[in-house]
Amino acid sequence: AQTVTQSQPEMSVQEAETVTLSCTYDTSESDYYLFWYKQPPSRQMILVIRQEAYKQQNATENRFSVNFQKAAKSFSLKISDSQLGDAAMYFCAYRSVIYNQGGKLIFGQGTELSVKP
C-alpha cells in the first residue's frame, strides 16, 4: 500500500521569503500523480499544484513550485515571496493511475505553515 509522509508538523517563514515543505512517499508503482493541497482556517481543501510522475519537468504555478525526485520518492513544495495569505495547513497527496484504485487520494499528515509579517 502507498504511504505519504510529511515530517514537518509546523513551519514558519518571514513574509516575502521562501520556504520549502517536505514530502516523501512510498509506492511500487511507476506511474502516479502527486498533489499539494492547501487548507486555510476555513477548512476548505484547495489544490495548489500537481505533478505527473512520468514528467521529469517540475511543475510550477506562479509562486509555487515543486522539486520532484522520483528515485528518492520525494516531492517538496517551494513557496517563493511568501504572503500572509499563504498561512495554512499544507497536505501532500498521492494518487494511483490504476483504474481499479478508484482514483482516491492518499494524504500525508500535513504541515502547518505560519507566515510572519
Partner 1 sequence: EPEVTQTPSHQVTQMGQEVILRCVPISNHLYFYWYRQILGQKVEFLVSFYNNEISEKSEIFDDQFSVERPDGSNFTLKIRSTKLEDSAMYFCASIETGGSGSPLHFGNGTRLTVT
Residues 58 to 117: which contact partner 1 by CB under 8 A?
91, 95, 97-110
Minimum Å gap between C-beta 48 and partner 1 is 10
For β-strands 60-61 and 46-52, DSSP reports them as: unpaired
Minimum Å gap between C-beta 91 and partner 1 is 6
Of residues 7, 11, 18, 35, the one with CA closest to residue 87: 11
Beta-ladder partners of 88: 113
In the complex with partner 1, the residue whose CB is nearer, 14 or 114, is 114
The answer to whether residue 19 forms part of the interface with partner 1 (CB under 8 A) is: no
- Map 28-41 to HEC letters: CCCCEEEEEEEECC
Judged by CB under 8 A, which stretch of 15-23, 43-51, 63-71, 72-80 contacts partner 1? Answer: 43-51
Q: Which residue is associated with the grid cell 517538496?
A: 76
The answer to whether residue 28 forms part of the interface with partner 1 (CB under 8 A) is: no
The answer to whether residue 5 forms part of the interface with partner 1 (CB under 8 A) is: no
CA atoms of 82 and 5, how far apart (whole Å): 23
- Which one-letter DSSP state was computed for residue 71? T
The residues of the shown chain that bind partner 1, judged by CB under 8 A, are 33, 35, 42-45, 47, 50, 52, 91, 95, 97-110
